[in-house]
Structure 1
Amino acid sequence: MSESDGWRVLRRYAGRHAGYFTTRQALRTGCAGLVQAGICDGSVLRAGVGLLRLAEFPSGPLDEYAMWAAWFDGAAVVSHQSAADLHGLGRLRPRFLHLSVGAGRPPLTARLVVLRRRLRDIEAESAGPFLVTTPLRTVLDLAESEIGQTSLDEVIGDALAIGRCTVDELRAIEVLTPRAADRVARSIAGF
């Protein structure tokens, strides 16, 4: 692949992640020289260790999610409290960004909580430059986590109120641990 072909591939990849790409991807596409020239002329910006961004992409409120999606080659899914926050479920105000990933080397940052697991395609949905767990998967993840019952009640109540999942869907779930199933049952008892 020529350097110009590699540059087109890298730009296409970066375009899927709000302009973000990694030095690893630049090396893989064979266009490290063009990236270095871009850094010099300002068309490529350093976004962190091993992370770069095409300067033509405007900053946005979800850039951090897109950046980490690029880090994991698009295979990361925003999950747990972070997914609830994105879906507008509850008021958890997560201090960390929660990602579910099947593989890949996590970056050295205290900002991320990386959970090693593979999700089925139906458990994630596109949020533009990154993936996020579906509202139903988010509720189930939180039921299996250590958040308080009151917070879980609020998340489930919001999900039901805005039509992101139904009581029947929550009752039909068979993959929960007994503790999580009990927590969900308590939350939907009033519906």
Structure 2
Amino acid sequence: MLSLADEQWGLVTSQQVEATGIAKSTLARQVRNGVFERAGTGVYRLKGSGAVEHLELRAAWIQLDPATPAWERSAAQGVVSHRSAAELFGLGQLPADIHEFTLPQRKQLRRSDVRLHRARLDDADWTRRGGLPVTRPRRIAADLLAEREDPGAVGQIIADALRAGLESSADVAAAVAPYALSHGFRSGDGLGLLRWLLELSGDPDQATWIAQAARPVGRGDA
């Protein structure tokens, strides 16, 4: 049980413990004795396991599929997305009071602090950060535009991602292109939408990023 917790940021679920052959009563006794503390419904944290960033988000993610260990999961068991993904990357300033995840199938979780989105993610749509599966910044921007989030806030997330070298502006333009028409641009005009979003961010390098996005594929610097 302790080795399992060590591999999951000090977290275990009752189902994972039972799968190892340990009785429920043993876990209950460990909780009473102060070895573990409750971190959510069916999720427990090893006391003294040290500070972990985004612990509540991790516990909510673990709870999405409580029987499967963290290292065996794929996107099918849930990917951190939307505002939660932006916070995990440290992008923008949108508050992430609700833990947001994207799954390919419908799922219900009785938690008021969790929001589940249904979508199929390609391998190029997500990566891992801090051991958690998380949508890439370009997908974050697209998802937030689809949710009609504040364009200025989305522009800041994009600018932060470009400045950190997490994305190319061309890839971001392609990702946001499906939402150009709904934001007043010509259908598919991802470059125009990206230009506007970066203008809203006020970033001094916006012209450079737009020039890079507009450069034809395969054309290097002169």
TM bucket (normalised to shorter chain) is 0.7 to 0.9
Aligned 1:139-158 pairs, distance under 5 A: 139-158=141-160
* Aligned residue runs from structure 1 range 127-142, under 5 A: 127-142=129-144
Matched-pair contact (CA < 8 Å) for 1:72–1:104: no
Are residues 155 and 86 of structure 1, via their aligned partners in 2, closer, same or farther at CA, if it must alter by over 3 Å?
A: same
Q: 2:14 aligns with which of 17, 23, 37?
A: 23
Secondary structure of 1:176's counterpart equals helix
Once the 2 structures are TM-superposed, how far is the Cα of residue 80 of structure 1 from its aligned partner? 0.6
Q: 1:58 — aligned with what? A: 50
Q: 1:82 aligns with which of 69, 81, 84?
A: 84
Contact 1:100 1:117 (8 Å CA) reproduced: yes
In structure 1, the partner of 2:182 is 179
Asked whether the 8 Å contact 1:47–1:53 carries over to 2, the reply is: yes
Greater RCO, 1 or 2 (C-alpha within 8 Å, sep 6+): 1
Change (3 A) 1:121 1:34: farther
Q: C-alpha separation between the residues in 2 aligned to 1:176 and 1:26?
A: 44
Long gaps (5+) in structure 2: 71-76, 184-189, 200-206, 211-222
Task: Determine what percentage of the aligned residue pairs are the same residue.
Answer: 24
Tell me how large the CA RMSD over aligned residues is.
2.7
CA contact (8 A) 1:85 1:94 kept: yes
Task: Confirm or deny: 8 A CA contact 1:76 1:100 kept in the other structure.
Answer: yes
Letter in 1 for 2:64: F
Gaps of at least 5 residues in structure 1 are 1-6
1:28-43 matched pairs, under 5 angstroms = 28-31=19-22, 32-43=24-35
Task: Provide, for residues 20-77 of structure 1, a one-character-per-residue CA deviation record: whole Å limited to 9, x for no partner.
Answer: 1222322333312432232233222222222112224223331012111211234222
Partner of 2:115: 113
Task: Look up the match of 1:45.
Answer: 37
* TM-score between both structures, scaled by the size of structure 2: 0.69
CA drift at 1:147: 0.8
Identify if the C-alpha distance between structure 1 residues 131 and 16 changes in structure 2 by more than 3 Å, giving closer, same or farther: farther
Deviation at 1:168, TM superposition (A): 1.5
Give 1:175 deviation, angstroms. Answer: 7.5
The 1:174/1:66 distance shift into structure 2, 3 A limit, reads closer
Question: TM-score, with normalisation over the residues of structure 1?
Answer: 0.78
**Contact between 1:90 and 1:155, CA under 8 Å: does it hold in 2?**
yes
Higher gyration radius (CA) = 2
Return the alpha-carbon distance in structure 2 between the equivalents of residues 89 and 98 of structure 1: 15
Q: Is the 8 A contact 1:44 1:55 kept in 2?
A: yes
